[in-house]
Structure 1
Amino acid sequence: MPALPTPLPATDGAARPKRPNRRTGALRILIVDDTPANLILAQAVLDAAGHTTTGVPDGAAGVAAVRDGTFDLVLMDVRMPGMDGLAATRAIRALPPPAGAVPILAMTADAPPSELKTFRAAGMNGHVAKPIDIQALLAKVREAAANSPKQTG
């Protein structure tokens, strides 16, 4: 069995070891999810991959964040109280470019083929399954980034 890397010692933050610069190709990603654990997990995974993330707890906050900010990608929970992910996606698509053209990936555990068609009809560009599979999430983020022009701002 190969040797595992030696973990870095814990620090109080004052003498943190430097990470390699992984910001090349970094994306600004908005995560919209009403479940705090899902937000924390997605942000931790994507931040560790070198991306910059913002998390919001509902569809209305997601629309406002896209309207008022600049994101390269949105991960949108589909089922949320109040404004769900489909309504939020439709509202984002009604925004003027470039905000209204941001790639949006649905995040949901329930995604039979008929639902995927509904997601696309609402304006979503793809789907990420929950519970989150880290490798699948990172692959979908890379795919979405490769298939759409990066916004400026």
Structure 2
Amino acid sequence: MENSGILLVDDEPAYRAIVAALLPAIGVVDIAGNGADAVAAVRARRYDLILADIEMPGRDGYQAVADLRAAADWAREIPIIAFTTLGPTAGEQHFIDRGFDGLLSKPFAASDLIALARRWLPVELPVIPEGDRASQLADLLGREAADAMIDRMRINLLEAVEAIDAGGDERALGHRLGGLAGTLGFPALSAAWLALEHGGIALWPTARAITEETIVRLAVRNQAGFPA
């Protein structure tokens, strides 16, 4: 079977684009949106590294890692990294005890992902300096693609506000949007949504206020022709 580099198991399109842009030296970054698709990919190709989200449709990451280990002989030894906003008290050891080899926490900076790849992969990778995540995103993806990604986040925020106001699951939405906002360069927004994930609906007024402020700021900038 062909060696294809990295398999990313995640249902969020923004993470797929960012990971693929950050790791071009490895070659192919294959994508699976759920555990079943990941197992099919592992049966078709050999990978050097697998990044797997925990909260996914269908079988979650804890179940998926066991399925992946059993899908091919080589997968018993391949590094599989938990790629998640979850922050258990035991930290990385929590995931190692459940079949993973390590942890890449969301939100993450470009340098976080590069450092992880350097640890596990026998390839040369570029040095990504620490800095503003939004600027890094524009440098990696191009300004137009980065702006489009951030505008999609603005739409996702609008939909999430409407959903929570209508009684939707604030913890699941906090999980999804908290990690994404941090990776795209919105630390205050990220902290508010991640707090919502762990603290529940009592924290919604604060998260809602920060979200509305961010939505207005992004809309004003876009209308004025400034980068998001």
Indicate whether the TM-score tops 0.5.
Answer: yes
Counterpart amino acid of residue 49 in structure 2: L
Greater per-residue helix proportion? 2
Q: Which among 94, 98, 108 is matched to residue 132 of structure 1?
A: 108
Which structure has greater strand proportion? 1
Over 3 Å counting, the alpha-carbon distance change for 1:50 and 1:72 in structure 2 is closer
Decide whether the 8 Å contact of 2:5 with 2:26 is kept in 1.
no
2:21 maps to a residue whose letter is A
Contact conserved, 2:39 with 2:71, CA < 8 A, in 1?
no
Q: Does 1:38 align with 2:8?
A: no
Kindly provide the amino acid, as one letter, of the partner of residue 45 in structure 1: L
1:27/1:126 Cα in 2 relative to 1: closer, same or farther (>3 Å)? Answer: farther
Residue equivalent to 2:5:
28
How far off its partner does 1:96 sit?
A: 4.0
Give 1:10-29 correspondences, 5 Å limit: 28-29=5-6
Query: Residue 76 of structure 2 aligns to which amino acid in structure 1?
Result: G
* Identical aligned residues as a percent: 36
| Partner SS, residue 43 of structure 1 | helix
AA aligned to 2:36 is: A
> SS state of the match for residue 121, structure 2?
helix
CA shift, 1:61, in A, is 0.8
- In structure 2, C-alpha distance between the alignment counterparts of 1:40 and 1:120, rounded to whole Å: 27
| Corresponding residue of 2:179 | none
Q: After superposition, where does 1:1-153 map in structure 2 within 5 Å?
A: 28-47=5-24, 49-114=25-90, 116-145=92-121
Residue identity matched to 1:101: E
Three-state SS of the structure 2 residue aligned to 1:131 is: coil
Measure, in 1, the Cα distance between the counterparts of 2:4 and 2:120.
Answer: 10
CA distance in 1, matches of 2:111, 2:27: 15
SS at match of 1:42: helix
Deviation at 1:27, TM superposition (A): 6.7
Task: Tell me the SS of whatever aligns to 1:113.
Answer: coil
Q: Is the 8 A contact 2:88 2:94 kept in 1?
A: no
Quote how far apart the aligned CAs of 1:102 are. Answer: 1.5
Q: Is the 8 A contact 2:4 2:46 kept in 1?
A: no
Larger Rg over CA atoms: 2
Counterpart of 1:40, as a letter, is A
TM-score normalised by length of structure 1:
0.70
Unaligned stretches of 5+ residues in structure 2: 123-228
The 2-side partners of 1:50 and 1:64 are apart by 21
Counterpart Cα distance in 1 of 2:38 and 2:72: 15
One-letter amino acid of the structure 2 residue matched with residue 89 of structure 1 = V
- Deviating more after overlay: 52-61 vs 114-123: 114-123
